[in-house]
Amino acid sequence: MRLGGPQVKRSGARQLVDVLFPQLATRAYRTAKMSDRKSVFESEFPSTLEDMADTLRRALEWLLDRRWIEKGEEFCARLCLEEALVNAVVHGNRGDQSRKVRLTVAEEGDCCRIAICDEGEGCCPEAARMPDAPAQRGRGLCLIRHFMDQVTYNREKHCLEMRMRRGAYTKGGSRHE
């Protein structure tokens, strides 16, 4: 079954659910999987804040399960991930539910790579500057650059990539130096 996203191989149980509950099958384009190596989390979802929140929750659980972040010390990782996902939904895809956001979190040795791709026009994160104190918006990319070890943007793929080291945060959200 192909409904607007990559083809997903379904288990027998999932196929049965699709037949018994067709309303769930309409969301088949939304995927979330862990590879056989268990070292990659992937999710593609429509550009809604509700779908984004679900993906954020599952990605944080994945990071906690693999000890990239510790329970009670997930603030910085959550902030960066949430800011990047909101930017993709709101600014990249402009809330257009027909456009998708793709999140990939991959273990690469002692580094965790987080990639958020959208179908929007692209941006220039290097140009982002911290706004004046009264401003209500515009701090997301600045915060991401502050807390992540590396931040890059691939203009061709419309993809923001962040990297962090395992255990980079201690209580209170400060980074190990």
Domain membership of residue 150 as a residue range: 30-173
pLDDT, position 166: 84
pLDDT, position 41: 96
Q: Does some domain include residue 68?
A: yes
What is d(CA 119, CA 104) in angstroms, rounded to the nearest whole number? 15
Considering only residues 167 and 3, tell me which one the structure prediction assigns the higher pLDDT.
Answer: 167
Q: Does some domain include residue 74?
A: yes
Q: For residue 135, what are the CA distances in angstroms to 128, 145, 147, 159?
A: 14, 19, 21, 26
pLDDT reading at 139 higher than 90: no
Select from 89, 96, 40 the least CA-distant residue to 65.
40
pLDDT, position 26: 37
CATH number of the domain residue 65 falls in: 3.30.565.10
Considering only residues 115 and 10, tell me which one the structure prediction assigns the higher pLDDT.
Answer: 115
pLDDT reading at 56 higher than 90: yes
pLDDT digits (tens, 9 = 90+) for 4-35: 333 344 444 445 545 554 444 433 333 444 44
Instruction: Return the minimum-mean-pLDDT range out of 32-36, 67-71, 73-77, 120-124.
Output: 32-36
Q: Does some domain include residue 81?
A: yes
Residue 130, classed as helix, strand or coil, is coil
pLDDT, position 134: 56
pLDDT reading at 119 higher than 70: yes
Q: Does some domain include residue 168?
A: yes
Global pTM? Answer: 0.71
Q: Does some domain include residue 41?
A: yes
Domain count, the chain: 1
pLDDT, position 126: 60
pLDDT, position 140: 80
What is d(CA 126, CA 153) in angstroms, rounded to the nearest whole number? 9
Q: Does some domain include residue 14?
A: no
For all residues of the chain together, what is the average pLDDT? 76
Q: Does some domain include residue 11?
A: no
Q: Does some domain include residue 136?
A: yes
Span 97-123, mean pLDDT? 92
Identify the burial level of 107 via C-beta atoms within 10 angstroms of its C-beta, where 0-12 means exposed, 13-18 middle and 19 or more buried.
middle
